[in-house]
Amino acid sequence: MTEIPLEYWNKLASQLIMISSLLTGFSIAVTANLLVNESNNRITNYILKATTIASGCFLVTVFAMTKILMMTTQGYPYKIAVSDLSLPKMIGMVTIIIGIISLSIVIALSGWTKSKRIGIFTTIVGILTFLMILMTLIEIRT
């Protein structure tokens, strides 16, 4: 397996910080909106749980990637190797995937609060969204 240079990790961490920050804000806004909502049905509670998980995961991703960004920026006071990035890299990647799954669940469940037809539509959109995101994240080389 090819070792990814520190400069690449620096740029990647920067991009993931931006993406995760935006998704954190969106997830927290949905969570806050659901908390003040008077509806207390099962689907709404599942959506609330999924947005809370997404918010937490994206927030953890921001901090994990910030650590990578700091460690890979020129002028960092300590000598580092790629192996030093293992823990924040693993935590950041796992939490962003869980966050994406949670947001896809939110998309899929959202229509069920209105009607069966809209629920089927949003479920299809949620599944397709997740699959397309997954296809862009996975690179298969032959």
Which pTM value belongs to this model? 0.90
pLDDT interval class at 1 (50, 70, 90) = low
pLDDT at 109: 97
Please write the tens of the pLDDT for every residue from 80-110. Answer: 888 899 999 999 999 999 999 999 999 999 9
Percent residues over pLDDT 90 in the chain = 82
Q: What is the 3-state secondary structure (H, E, C) of the chain?
A: CCCCCHHHHHHHHHHHHHHHHHHHHHHHHHHHHHHHCCCCCHHHHHHHHHHHHHHHHHHHHHHHHHHHHHHHCCCCCCCCCHHHHHHHHHHHHHHHHHHHHHHHHHHHHHHHHCCHHHHHHHHHHHHHHHHHHHHHHCCCCC
pLDDT at 142: 66
Dihedral (CA of 133, 134, 139, 142) sign: negative
Please write the tens of the pLDDT for every residue from 32-77. Answer: 999 998 888 999 999 999 999 999 999 999 999 999 999 999 999 9
**Mean pLDDT for the stretch of residues 126-137:** 93
**Mean pLDDT for the stretch of residues 106-129:** 96
CATH fold for the domain made of 6-137: Butyryl-CoA Dehydrogenase, subunit A; domain 3 (1.20.140)
